Amino acid sequence: MKFNLKVWRQKNAKAEGKLVDYTIDNIIPDMSFLEMVDVLNDNLVRKGEDPIAFDHDCREGICGMCSMYISGRAHGPQHAATTCQLYMRSFKDGDTIYVEPFRAGAFPIIKDLVTDRSAFDRIISKGGFVSVNTGQAQDANNLPVDKAFAEKAMDAAACIGCGACVAACPNSAAMLFVSAKISQLALLPQGGPERNNRAINMVNQMDEEGFGSCTNIGACEAECPKEIKLTNIARMNREYLVASLINE
């Protein structure tokens, strides 16, 4: 397969970036998008040019490291998939493909397609954990957890923190991510004792990082590779509202 690529190149955080045209040929349809970029980079290195910097790690859709805004969508056109799980067969031969970094003020570009998503780590450090000792395995089994709640918590915990929600959101809001983390713990007894402080501290940190505010557009849910649901955002709003009213 042959493709025309328009890739965002930017030397560093301060430099002006621009879209650069590349043509690539002999791509196997079953290559992943990242493998296609590997081939392109190999070609660039052979020509003595600077390869395209991009984030990737596990390449099996579970680490949340790969990003890229492909053909106008976070992680590209494939539903419920990260960029590493996007295959070139999703495109037509001869397609022009735009490749940009995830864009948000809170995700500054480091180089080319690599963005600094440590804002998410700082939000997690404000309460995305359980600080009480939850004991050994048998102790966990002694805590009764409703199956339905366990399932919801597990669904929320599927969030890999990739930032596609922020990239897809016209407001650059991070509420799907933060709400998944808050929900995951709020739904389980272990997370109960700290739920109020957690909701307030994580939401405050989210605002401090400069993310936008949710206006319930729903683009995040549609683009999330792990299909995190909007109901989590409603739960976070509820947690935050209650916590603001009763926290001393």
Interacting residues toward other proteins by CB under 8 A: 6, 8, 17, 19, 69, 71-73, 77, 98, 100, 103-106, 168, 170-173, 210-219, 222-223, 230-231, 233-239, 241
Q: How far is the CB of 68 from other proteins (least distance, A)?
A: 12
Which of 29, 77 has the CB closer to other proteins?
77
Three-state secondary-structure class, residue 130:
coil
Q: Minimum CB separation from other proteins for residue 226, in Å?
A: 15
Q: Is residue 127 classed exposed, middle or buried when 0-12, 13-18 and 19+ CB atoms within 10 A define those classes?
A: buried
- Name the residue nearer to other proteins (CB basis): 21 or 30: 21
CB of 234 to other proteins, least distance (A): 3
Q: How far is the CB of 57 from other proteins (least distance, A)?
A: 24
Token duo for residue 193 = 């004792």
Task: Report the nearest approach of other proteins to the CB of residue 150 (Å).
Answer: 16
Question: CB 142 → other proteins: shortest distance, Å?
Answer: 29
The one-letter amino acid at 1: M
- In the chain, count of helices (H) and strands (E)? 9, 7
Q: Please enumerate in sequence order all residues whose Cβ is within 8 A of that of 174, keeping only pairs 6 or more positions apart, or say none.
A: 106, 119, 120, 123, 163, 165, 166, 206, 209, 211
Residue type, 20: V
- Within 10 Å of residue 193's Cβ, how many Cβ atoms? 12
Task: Name residue 9's beta-bridge partners.
Answer: 18
Identity of the residue, 40 or 230, whose beta carbon is nearer to other proteins in the bound complex: 230
Tokens representing residue 83 in the block:
């960029």
**Cβ closest to other proteins, residue 66 vs residue 68:** 68
H or E element in which residue 7 lies: strand 3-9
